[in-house]
Amino acid sequence: MIHEIFPHSFNNSYVANQKIGEDDFIFHYNQNTLLFKANGDGLTFPQKKDLSGIPDDTNVTFLFTLDNTPCFLINGEVNTEKSDLIYKEIKIFRNLNQQEIAWAVIAGYHLANWYAQNRFCGKCGSATIHKTDERAVNCSSCDTIFYPKISPAIIVAIICNDKILLACNSNFPARWYSLIAGYVDIGEPLEETVRRETKEEVGLDVRNIRYYKSQPWPLTGSLMVGFIAEADDTQPIILETKELTEAAWFTRGNLPNYPPGLGISGEMISKFDKGEL
């Protein structure tokens, strides 16, 4: 899965009052693009020394540490005249074979979006300021503190003996079949979300709900919580047609196209196919 970047390391501990150094990585997002630096056949992130003219008082925000190098978010204009600096679409993460770069791109994107969406207090409308001792912003007027927002979602492999239920979502980039998934509602335990989403999307009742593992998915600000559940394949499938175009039972060894292993869904479907789930 995309966050599993060993032997590289990602440390999201917030370092209080971290000062930016010349060799530290700069994350400069512009709409749905990010500034990269060419590195042989691959990509890396620009360092502060690559971006001449960053004033010392530029608003920089510590993000996280990648392979022991602190990473900082910078907003506003930067000088990108050096020929090896290039903006690329965020979605390039799906095709990068440097998984530590791919992971940092979307982890930084989640934080960049969150900071951009919390420049003003939701209670009183005053400007917020970045706290220096923790990853949070607080209101300059009413002192409310806002922490990064993560939206939990369930994803469930629904199984009946050697069959798995897969569904085709109209938003998928290709004709992929994947697992049933959905956001957790307020006041709802995860197991209830599994039951509700399965009933809503394909009309099935599930039993024996078991936890699999979880995966952060920063692109949508989510934490995907994976489950396995059983269902009786004699129940009628009643499709929720707003999101899904098709859902059906598929037999192990004869599965349709499914998403790659970057995400938890691809890993779970692949494991089912190999008889490991």
- Judged by the rule CB under 5 A, the positions of this chain that interact with Zn ion are 121, 123-124, 126, 139, 141-142
* Cis ω before 7 (30° cut-off from 0): yes
Shortest approach of Zn ion to residue 144 CB, angstroms? 5
Per DSSP, the residues of 179-207 read: -EEEEPPTT--HHHHHHHHHHHHH---EE
Element (H, E) at 114: helix 99-117
Element (H, E) at 116: helix 99-117
Nearer to Zn ion, 18 or 138 (CB): 138
Nearer to Zn ion, 124 or 238 (CB): 124
Shortest approach of Zn ion to residue 134 CB, angstroms? 18
Shortest approach of Zn ion to residue 147 CB, angstroms? 15
Alpha-carbon span 23 to 26, nearest angstrom: 9
Shortest approach of Zn ion to residue 128 CB, angstroms? 8
Nearer to Zn ion, 78 or 139 (CB): 139
**Residue type at 65?**
T
Nearer to Zn ion, 115 or 176 (CB): 115
Nearer to Zn ion, 111 or 121 (CB): 121
Shortest approach of Zn ion to residue 118 CB, angstroms? 11
Alpha-carbon span 22 to 25, nearest angstrom: 9
Q: Is the distance from CB of 115 to CB of 135 less than 8 angstroms?
A: no
Characterize the bridge pairing of strands 42-44 and 128-130.
unpaired
